[in-house]
């Protein structure tokens, strides 16, 4: 189950962060998302370490915390998507699919002429779409 | 890791025992220790002591005994320290070869030894110590000994200690035998148990684990790491099965299993890490973690689980840390299986430290719960005192005294839980957690992983906060807050600020408290963000992130500011209230986080303003505080303090209460209320009398009687966006109504200088000429201002840039270094000089001059002349600036500057050229002319001792007429005077010659060189001239004459061996015969043979020889004479004469001009008057 998704801007500032959990750990998820930026920085600045993923937007598993797994995705405009999930057995293909549809939703949201690039995304449509994507996570490959 | 017993932490080392011959034990022990691998040894003085060491009867049948535990606590230690694998019995040789009594004693010792070791299968080595080389033991005795001891012959060794070499050899032999036997012992032991495992001849799963563990330990004794690892893993897996099978395990059972699992895991991890298999170790740990994480156990003892988990992470972190020192290239080995890739962070000990801290926190909270439970039940922990670890690893029992003996009595789960709670209370977990987090924090900081580091720091700070150590917590929180501020993580920042606020509240720091509170109140938390994050359980002291909370904080902090509330500090000290005695002043600069609270933007409506005239300034204030803020009074401060003014809120202001400086302007505004995210715009006029920059520095807002905020003024044009709010999706508003001003407005304005009312004129008369003292008149005319303490600055600057100094001449003392030089400033005559001299500044340098201007009243004027001299032709910019004050009060008055500049060309006035001629119809034969030398290169040659003629011409290159006063040839040095005589030199022209532009002036000099040297300098041409300044000119008074000097080039001097002179009348008359003489002068001491020929000419009839060869005697003249009759009138060519000198083999012909004659048709009539005068006068031709 996806517990948190986030869009992080150029200055590592959160543009959109949404948690899908009933428990009161949203703040903890914020911390996890924030810490995972370190891993993204490391991956982006030292691309040679992660040789095969060169030129790929999907950054893979960023780091495992004790209960969560954090995945990252870097768009070509250097906006970062972060996914926190509680599933310990996640298929890479699922995550890739998720990010692909999330990216499409993001592109649609920022293409809104009333959206100012670099500002937080407040679109309700985007939030709804993200919720749908999150809900359908994991079913696409099974189907 | 330190908690583990020593025998677990280090790999086991083979143990042997040495019995008898105590004097040798030291040497043997040391030697065995230094072996590779080392062997530990027990030393016993004699055989009788062996029974203390080894219990004579090991457990006969372990499999039959009911398995009450998995591992015996002391088993490993026993094998490492008490049960040797090999016993070496040392006998001196004389005991063997001695008398029967000794032999019998030896035999009985042997029997005893054999009896004690037989059950344990310990190997025996007999060592015969030869004390003397001559000792000799019979074969029979040795055989008997061997039979008694029942050992192979190779295990009876002799030990001789006669000399160092033999001793060393003996020790070596002993060492290798020990190693071999120990190896077989451990192998046999291991094999014995292995067969038990293979046959599955064990009654319970505990035993199988125990067997696997033993096999692994024996393998470790043998340094067979692979087998050891395999059996440890087997044991581990068997243990897991145990959990799987038993459905409901008791608390103690679980504790035991976990303790054993922990030990096994520790062994496995150590073996993996020491084998350099870091990824394997990490993967193994991850599995270990996932398997056991969920085995929490019964809820009343859950803290034991968290403690155990924390310990797993801590131990693994420590292991990883020690091994990563040994293996530095940790990052290069990151691999992982395809489905479970390892991330880099799993190789950093910091990660594990952090999680260890996390689990320890879990432990603490559950322990607290357990403690509170037990306290609420009112249980008394008297039972905990006598609880001790029992014989099995991970088990505890109560030690009960029964008579003299202590008996272990098993505990019930409840008892155990109480014991564990009581134990847990003894430890301060917070410090442990802080230590773990600190390790993690430092490790992350070293790796430059700031965010994870800050997260650890945050947790650390929370712990400090929890234990009430605010002085440690606050700096940590501050560092973290700055990171979150920078990256705009508002929710995280909110939490940190909440802690900071509480820290400062508890420490009684009013200013900090108010700053943090204000910042929190101004954070971009809207109701939208609040919705999502509503109801955090762990939201810290700040409460949930919401607009509601912001408003609460706002109200609270304004309560403090207005002095209505007091800061409830932990200690009851005073001055925690904002009062008259304790006013509060906050500073907000351009990087302060409090810019959210109050932002002051100041824009002048104009860029430049005239002094004394007023301009508008718009002051815009913005606040993001959730409630509207009413400002009592605003003070606007400028760099020119005269302009400062105060704006008073008419609603709040009671009238008489204007604090601030007396002289300042006070404006009244109807309302000074700042509502959220709306600019408060105020426009006022400002007037400055002082020229220069007028800059608004700060705006001081007074919000409460004793609370002020000083906000640095910012220009709208260069204003940074509000931090944090810039990421919010909100309507952008401009600080000023005029959008153009919002983009270009500046908080500084340039106040112009007062307009000058003095004319500065530079008069100029054409270009300057090189050499002359060129005068530039400068006139000051006051039109409106009086001139006080005026200063005139003069600067000469090369038009093409650079100085006026030629790069080659850099010597400062040389006067010629400046191509253009300011000679002086001549002031008008007739002024009262006595007064001037007193306060006159006059400073003149090569290209710079400074002169003071006397006091001028309105309408007066003053002038001076600049005297500039050019040494080379060069255009020059002349800058003249006047600085004066229109007011007599020098200290306060504004200085006024006037600048004028002028380009002046320096030109060469006169071009001097010269020509050398020989006398008419006289041609010396110069040997150099004969030789075919490149003509262009040749300097002209002159015959010595002959008269030559020098014509010097000077051309006026200027646009103005010049007057030449004199032209002379100046000789330099004495030698020229001797060597050369010059006629017509140095005479002044009685009437200066007027030379119009372009005209050439010529003067003829005759030179007779009288020297024998081959070169001669002709000296300098000195031309004295001046400008022709009009009709009524008084020479020498107004315009100084200029002396132009030019050096003439050197000429070659030659002695001509032959001189040819043609002598004929100046003219001829048609039909009248005349005589044409040709003189050939031999100037040498030699006889000269010359050939000559005379060609016929059309216009003359000639008598005389055409060709001949003559000999000219030394120093004599040979004259040829011809009679000619002209046949035609006009300019006619005389017959051409050609001379060839045989000695010099040079042909020689006079020039055509020399052999031309004018023939009159009839005899002319001349009036011969004043011929003498005409000859002297120089000819001026065009």
The string of pLDDT tens digits covering residues A80-139 is 999 988 877 778 888 888 898 999 999 999 998 888 888 888 888 998 999 998 888 866
User: How far B383 CA sits from the closest chain A CA (Å)?
Assistant: 37
Round to whole Å and give the CA distance between B741 and B718.
Answer: 12
Q: Out of A3-17, B162-176, B450-464, which region has the weakest mean confidence (pLDDT)? A: B162-176
Q: What's the helix, strand, coil split of chain A in %, to 5? A: 40, 20, 35
Q: Do B727 and A25 lie within an 8 Å CB cutoff?
A: no
Q: Is the pLDDT of residue B575 over 80?
A: no
User: Which phi-psi region, left, alpha or beta, contains residue B760 (left: φ > 0; alpha: ψ -120 to 50)?
Assistant: beta
Task: Please state, for a pLDDT cut of 90, what percent of chain B lies above it.
Answer: 0
* CB contact A6 to B (< 8 Å): no
Q: What is the pLDDT of residues B194-215, one digit of tens each?
A: 888 887 767 777 788 888 888 8
Q: Identify the pLDDT of residue B816.
A: 46
Which class for B82: exposed (0-12), middle (13-18), buried (19 or more C-beta within 10 A)? middle
Instruction: Extract long-range pairs of B1149-1154: CB within 8 Å, 24+ residues apart.
Output: B1150/B921, B1150/B923, B1150/B1060, B1150/B1062, B1151/B923, B1154/B920, B1154/B921, B1154/B923, B1154/B1062
Residues 272-301 of chain B with CB under 8 A from chain A are: 289-290, 293
Give me the phi and psi of B1177, to 5 degrees please. Answer: -65, 135
User: How far B194 CA sits from the closest chain A CA (Å)?
Assistant: 38
| Prediction ipTM score | 0.92
CB atoms within 10 A of CB B1003: 25
Strands across the sheet containing B1042-1047: B988-995, B962-970, B1020-1027, B1042-1047
* CB contact A28 to B (< 8 Å): yes
* pLDDT band at B244; cut points 50, 70, 90: low
Question: Could you say which of A34, A38, A62 has the minimum Cβ distance to residue B492?
Answer: A34
User: How far B441 CA sits from the closest chain A CA (Å)?
Assistant: 13
Hey, of B341, B540, B727, which one would you mutate to test binding to chain A, going by the most A CBs within 10 A of its CB? Answer: B727
Q: Is the pLDDT of residue B1137 over 80?
A: yes
Which class for B951: exposed (0-12), middle (13-18), buried (19 or more C-beta within 10 A)? middle
Size of interface A-B (CB pairs under 8 A): 92
Residues 323-342 of chain B with CB under 8 A from chain A are: 331, 334, 341
* pLDDT band at B661; cut points 50, 70, 90: low
Q: Out of A39-53, B364-378, B410-424, B631-645, which region has the weakest mean confidence (pLDDT)? A: A39-53
Interval B978-995 mean pLDDT: 62
- Taking CA atoms, B1128 is separated from A68, B599, B645, B668, B1102, in Å, by 133, 115, 113, 120, 13
Which residue has better confidence, B338 or B162? B162
Q: Do B488 and A14 lie within an 8 Å CB cutoff?
A: yes
Q: Is the pLDDT of residue B543 over 70?
A: yes
CB atoms within 10 A of CB B332: 9
Q: Identify the pLDDT of residue A7.
A: 92
Name the residue of chain B whose CA is nearest to A40's CA: B449
User: How far B446 CA sits from the closest chain A CA (Å)?
Assistant: 13
* CB contact A142 to B (< 8 Å): no
Q: Do B341 and A60 lie within an 8 Å CB cutoff?
A: yes
Chain B neighbors of A61, CB-CB under 8 A = 341, 343
Chain A neighbors of B437, CB-CB under 8 A = none
The CA-to-CA distance between both ends of chain B, in Å, stands at 118
Interval B1081-1108 mean pLDDT: 85
Name the residue of chain A whose CA is nearest to B533's CA: A26
According to DSSP, the residues that pair with A69 across neighbouring strands are A64, A85
Q: Is the pLDDT of residue B332 over 50?
A: no
Question: Could you say which of B343, B489, B528 has the minimum Cβ distance to residue A62?
Answer: B343
CA atoms within 13 A on the CB side of B414: 5
Q: Do B344 and A42 lie within an 8 Å CB cutoff?
A: yes
Q: Is the pLDDT of residue B1026 over 70?
A: yes
Q: Identify the pLDDT of residue A20.
A: 84
* CB contact B538 to A (< 8 Å): yes
Which residue has better confidence, B361 or B570? B361
Q: Identify the pLDDT of residue B1022.
A: 81
Q: Is the pLDDT of residue B812 over 70?
A: no
Q: Is the pLDDT of residue B898 over 50?
A: yes
Q: Do B491 and A27 lie within an 8 Å CB cutoff?
A: yes
Interval B1134-1141 mean pLDDT: 85
Q: What is the pLDDT of residues B741-761, one digit of tens each?
A: 888 888 888 888 777 778 888
Q: Identify the pLDDT of residue A8.
A: 92
Q: Identify the pLDDT of residue B979.
A: 57
User: How far B285 CA sits from the closest chain A CA (Å)?
Assistant: 12
Task: Please state, for a pLDDT cut of 70, what percent of chain B lies above it.
Answer: 81
Q: Identify the pLDDT of residue A81.
A: 92
Round to whole Å and give the CA distance between B436 and B920.
Answer: 119
Interval B939-946 mean pLDDT: 70
* CB contact B489 to A (< 8 Å): yes
Q: Which domains does chain A have, with CATH numbers?
A: 2-142 (3.30.450.70)
Round to whole Å and give the CA distance between B285 and B317.
Answer: 10
User: How far A29 CA sits from the closest chain B CA (Å)?
Assistant: 10
Q: Is the pLDDT of residue B161 over 80?
A: no
* CB contact B532 to A (< 8 Å): yes
Question: Could you say which of A25, A30, A49 has the minimum Cβ distance to residue B492?
Answer: A30
Q: Is the pLDDT of residue B938 over 60?
A: no
Distance of CA B1113 to the CA centre of its chain: 94
CB atoms within 10 A of CB B837: 9
Name the residue of chain A whose CA is nearest to B340's CA: A89
Round to whole Å and give the CA distance between A100 and A94.
Answer: 10
* CB contact A44 to B (< 8 Å): no
Q: Do B346 and A64 lie within an 8 Å CB cutoff?
A: yes
Name the residue of chain B whose CA is nearest to A118's CA: B727
User: How far B120 CA sits from the closest chain A CA (Å)?
Assistant: 48
Q: Out of B419-433, B676-690, B883-897, B902-916, which region has the weakest mean confidence (pLDDT)? A: B883-897
Round to whole Å and give the CA distance between B412 and B401.
Answer: 18
Chain B neighbors of A25, CB-CB under 8 A = 537-538
CA atoms within 13 A on the CB side of B210: 22
* CB contact B53 to A (< 8 Å): no
User: How far B633 CA sits from the closest chain A CA (Å)?
Assistant: 35
Residue B850: DSSP 8-state: E
CB atoms within 10 A of CB B876: 22
Q: Is the pLDDT of residue B721 over 70?
A: yes
Hey, of B729, B732, B733, which one would you mutate to test binding to chain A, going by the most A CBs within 10 A of its CB? Answer: B729
Q: Do B532 and A62 lie within an 8 Å CB cutoff?
A: no
User: How far A101 CA sits from the closest chain B CA (Å)?
Assistant: 23
Q: Identify the pLDDT of residue B337.
A: 45
Round to whole Å and give the CA distance between B843 and B794.
Answer: 10
Interval B74-85 mean pLDDT: 80
Chain B neighbors of A9, CB-CB under 8 A = 727
Segment of B467-481, B678-692, B774-788, B1152-1166 carrying the highest mean pLDDT? B467-481
Q: What beta strand segments (E) does B910-999 contain?
A: 910-917, 922-925, 941-943, 948-956, 962-970, 980-983, 988-995
Residues with Cβ within 8 Å of A46's Cβ and at least 6 positions away in sequence, in order, are none
Q: Is the pLDDT of residue B1154 over 60?
A: yes
CB atoms within 10 A of CB B388: 11
* Cβ–Cβ < 8 Å for B700, B709: yes
Q: What is the pLDDT of residues B62-71, one digit of tens each?
A: 444 455 677 7
Q: Is the pLDDT of residue B1177 over 50?
A: no
CB atoms within 10 A of CB B194: 19
Interval B101-111 mean pLDDT: 81
Interval B167-176 mean pLDDT: 83
CB atoms within 10 A of CB B835: 11
Q: What is the pLDDT of residues B81-96, one digit of tens each?
A: 878 888 888 877 777 7
Q: What beta strand segments (E) does B98-238 contain?
A: 123-130, 156-160
Q: Is the pLDDT of residue B538 over 80?
A: no
Name the residue of chain B whose CA is nearest to A69's CA: B343
Interval B763-767 mean pLDDT: 73
* Cβ–Cβ < 8 Å for B704, B649: no
Q: State the Cα angle at B1137 between B1131 and B1138, rounded to 5°.
A: 145
Q: Is the pLDDT of residue B253 over 70?
A: yes
Q: Identify the pLDDT of residue B65.
A: 46
* pLDDT band at B1179; cut points 50, 70, 90: very low
Round to whole Å and give the CA distance between B881 and B898.
Answer: 5
Q: Is the pLDDT of residue B527 over 50?
A: yes
Check whether the bond before A4 is cis (ω within 30° of 0): no
Q: Is the pLDDT of residue B981 over 50?
A: yes
Which residue has better confidence, B1127 or B1027? B1127
* CB contact B733 to A (< 8 Å): no
Q: Identify the pLDDT of residue B338.
A: 44
Give me the phi and psi of B655, to 5 degrees please. Answer: 120, -65
Q: Is the pLDDT of residue B1 over 80?
A: no
Hey, of A12, A38, A61, A93, which one would you mutate to test binding to chain B, going by the most B CBs within 10 A of its CB? Answer: A38
* Cβ–Cβ < 8 Å for B561, B578: yes
Q: What is the mean pLDDT of chain B?
A: 77
Chain A neighbors of B341, CB-CB under 8 A = 60-61
User: How far A143 CA sits from the closest chain B CA (Å)?
Assistant: 21
Q: Identify the pLDDT of residue B51.
A: 67
Three-state SS sequence of B775-792: EEEEEEEECCCCEEEEEE
Q: Identify the pLDDT of residue B45.
A: 76
Chain B neighbors of A122, CB-CB under 8 A = 528, 729
- Taking CA atoms, B700 is separated from B599, B628, B637, B745, in Å, by 11, 18, 8, 20
Q: Is the pLDDT of residue B953 over 50?
A: yes
Give me the phi and psi of A67, to 5 degrees please. Answer: -115, -10
């Amino acid at each position: 189950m996806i517990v948190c998704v986030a869009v992080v801007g150029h200055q590592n500032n959160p543009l959109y962060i949404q948690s899908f959990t009933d428990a009161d750990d949203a703040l903890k998820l914020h911390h996890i998302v924030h810490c995972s930026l370190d891993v993204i920085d490391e991956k982006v600045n030292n691309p040679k370490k992660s040789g095969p993923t060169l030129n790929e937007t999907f950054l893979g598993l960023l780091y495992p915390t004790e209960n969560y797994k954090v995945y990252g995705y870097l768009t070509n405009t250097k906006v970062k998507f972060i996914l926190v999930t509680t599933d310990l057995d996640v298929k890479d293909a699922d995550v890739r699919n998720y990010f692909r549809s999330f990216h499409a939703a993001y592109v649609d949201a920022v293409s809104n002429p009333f959206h100012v690039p670099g500002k937080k995304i407040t679109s309700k449509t985007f939030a709804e779409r993200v919720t749908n994507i999150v809900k359908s996570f994991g079913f696409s490959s099974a189907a | 890791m330190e908690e583990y017993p020593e025998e677990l932490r280090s790999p086991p080392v083979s143990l042997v025992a040495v019995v008898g011959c105590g004097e040798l034990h030291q040497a043997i022990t040391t030697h065995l220790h230094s072996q590779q691998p080392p062997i530990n040894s027990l030393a016993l003085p004699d055989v009788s002591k062996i029974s203390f060491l080894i219990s004579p009867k090991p457990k006969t049948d372990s499999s039959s005994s009911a398995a009450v535990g998995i591992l015996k606590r002391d088993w490993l230690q026993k094998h490492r320290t008490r049960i040797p694998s090999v016993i070496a019995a040392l006998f001196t040789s004389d005991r063997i070869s001695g008398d029967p009594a000794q032999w019998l004693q030896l035999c009985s010792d042997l029997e005893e030894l054999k009896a004690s070791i037989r059950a344990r299968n310990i190997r025996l080595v007999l060592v015969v110590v030869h004390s003397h080389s001559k000792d000799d033991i019979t074969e029979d005795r040795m055989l008997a000994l061997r039979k008694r001891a029942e050992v192979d012959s190779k295990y009876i060794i002799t030990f001789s200690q006669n000399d160092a070499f033999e001793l060393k050899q003996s020790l070596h032999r002993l060492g290798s035998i020990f190693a071999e036997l120990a190896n077989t012992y451990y192998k046999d032991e291991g094999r014995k148990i292995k067969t038990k495992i293979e046959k599955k001849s064990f009654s319970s799963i505990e035993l199988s684990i125990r067997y696997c563990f033993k096999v692994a330990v024996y393998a470790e004794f043998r340094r067979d790491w692979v087998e050891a690892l395999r059996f440890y893993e087997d044991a581990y897996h068997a243990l897991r099965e145990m959990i799987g099978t038993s459905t409901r395990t008791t608390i103690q059972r679980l504790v035991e299993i976990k303790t054993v699992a922990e030990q096994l895991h520790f062994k496995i991890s150590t073996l993996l890490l020491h084998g350099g298999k870091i990824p394997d170790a990490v993967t193994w740990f991850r599995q270990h973690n996932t398997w056991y994480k969920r085995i929490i156990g019964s809820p009343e003892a859950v803290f034991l689980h968290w403690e155990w988990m924390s310990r797993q992470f801590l131990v693994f972190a420590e292991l990883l840390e020690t091994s990563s020192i040994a293996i530095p290239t940790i990052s290069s080995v990151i691999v992982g299986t395809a489905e479970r890739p390892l991330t880099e962070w799993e190789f950093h000990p910091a990660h594990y430290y952090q999680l260890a801290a996390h689990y320890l926190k879990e432990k603490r909270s559950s322990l607290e719960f357990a403690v509170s439970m037990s306290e609420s039940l009112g249980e008394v922990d008297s039972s905990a005192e006598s609880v001790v670890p029992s014989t099995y690893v991970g088990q505890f029992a109560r030690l009960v005294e029964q008579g003299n003996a202590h008996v272990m009595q098993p505990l019930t789960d409840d008892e155990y839980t109480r014991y564990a709670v009581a134990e847990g209370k003894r430890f301060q977990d917070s410090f442990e957690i802080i230590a773990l987090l600190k390790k993690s924090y430092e490790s992350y900081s070293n790796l430059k992983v700031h965010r994870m580091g800050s997260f650890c720091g945050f947790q650390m700070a929370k712990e400090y906060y929890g234990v009430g150590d605010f002085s440690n917590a606050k700096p940590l929180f501050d560092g973290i807050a700055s990171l979150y501020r920078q990256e705009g993580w508002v929710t995280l920042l909110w939490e940190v600020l909440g802690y900071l606020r509480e820290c400062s509240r508890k420490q009684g720091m009013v200013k900090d408290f108010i700053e943090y509170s204000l910042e929190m109140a101004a954070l971009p938390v809207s109701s939208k963000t609040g919705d999502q994050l509503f109801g955090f359980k762990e939201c810290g002291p700040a409460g949930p992130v919401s607009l509601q909370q912001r408003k609460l904080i706002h109200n609270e902090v304004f309560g403090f500011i207005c002095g209505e509330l007091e800061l409830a500090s932990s200690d009851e000290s005073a001055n925690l209230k904002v009062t008259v005695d304790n006013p509060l002043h906050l500073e907000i600069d351009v990087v302060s986080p409090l810019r959210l609270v109050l932002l002051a933007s100041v824009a002048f409506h104009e860029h430049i303003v005239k002094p004394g005239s007023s301009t508008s300034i718009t002051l815009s204030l913005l606040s993001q505080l959730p409630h509207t803020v009413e400002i009592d009074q605003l003070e606007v401060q400028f760099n020119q303090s005269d302009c400062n003014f105060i704006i008073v809120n008419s609603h709040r202001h009671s009238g008489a209460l204007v604090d601030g400086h007396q002289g300042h302007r006070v404006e009244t505004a109807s309302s000074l209320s700042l509502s959220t995210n709306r600019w408060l715009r105020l426009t006022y006029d400002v007037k400055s009398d002082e020229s220069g920059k007028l800059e608004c520095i700060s705006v001081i807002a007074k919000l409460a009687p004793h609370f002020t905020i000083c906000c640095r003024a910012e220009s709208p044009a260069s204003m940074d966006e509000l931090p944090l709010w810039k990421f919010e999706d909100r309507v952008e508003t401009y600080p000023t109504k005029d959008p153009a001003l919002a983009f270009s407005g500046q908080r500084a304005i340039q106040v112009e200088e007062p307009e000058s009312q003095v004319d500065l004129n530079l008069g100029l008369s054409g270009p300057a000429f090189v050499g002359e003292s060129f005068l530039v008149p400068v006139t000051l005319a006051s039109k409106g201002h009086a001139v006080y303490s005026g200063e005139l600055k003069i600067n000469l600057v090369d038009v093409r840039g650079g100085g006026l100094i030629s790069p080659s001449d850099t010597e400062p003392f040389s006067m010629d270094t400046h191509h253009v030089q300011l000679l002086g400033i001549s002031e008008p005559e007739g002024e009262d000089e006595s007064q001037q001299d007193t306060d006159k500044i006059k400073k003149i340098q090569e290209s710079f001059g400074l002169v003071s201007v006397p006091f001028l009243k309105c309408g007066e004027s003053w002038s001076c002349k600049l005297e500039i001299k050019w040494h080379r032709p060069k255009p020059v910019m002349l800058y003249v600036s006047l600085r004066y004050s229109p007011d007599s009060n020098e200290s306060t008055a504004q200085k006024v500057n006037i600048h004028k500049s002028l380009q002046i060309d320096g030109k060469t006035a006169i071009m001097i050229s010269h020509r050398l001629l020989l006398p008419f119809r006289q041609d010396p034969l110069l040997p150099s002319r004969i030789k075919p030398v490149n003509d262009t290169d040749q300097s002209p040659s002159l015959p010595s001792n002959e008269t030559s003629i020098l014509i010097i011409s000077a051309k006026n290159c200027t646009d103005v007429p010049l007057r030449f006063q004199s032209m002379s040839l100046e000789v330099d040095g004495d030698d020229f005077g001797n060597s050369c005589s010059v006629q017509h030199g140095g005479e002044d022209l009685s009437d200066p010659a007027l030379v119009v532009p372009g005209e050439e002036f010529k003067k003829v000099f005759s030179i007779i060189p009288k020297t024998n040297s081959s070169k001669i300098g002709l000296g300098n041409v000195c031309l004295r001239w001046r400008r022709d300044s009009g009709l009524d000119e008084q020479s020498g008074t107004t315009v100084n004459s200029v002396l132009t000097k030019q050096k003439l080039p050197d000429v070659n001097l030659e002695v001509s061996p032959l001189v040819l002179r043609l002598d004929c009348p100046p003219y001829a008359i048609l039909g009248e015969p005349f005589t044409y003489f040709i003189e050939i002068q031999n100037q040498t001491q030699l006889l000269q043979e010359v050939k000559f020929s005379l060609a016929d000419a059309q216009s003359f009839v000639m008598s005389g020889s055409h060709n001949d060869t003559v000999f000219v005697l030394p120093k004599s003249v040979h004259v040829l004479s011809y009679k000619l009759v002209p046949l035609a009138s006009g300019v006619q060519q005389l017959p051409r004469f050609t001379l060839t000198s045989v000695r010099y083999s040079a042909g020689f012909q006079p020039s055509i001009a020399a052999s031309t004659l004018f023939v009159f048709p009839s005899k002319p009539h001349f009036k011969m008057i004043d011929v003498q005068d005409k000859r002297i006068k120089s000819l001026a031709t065009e």
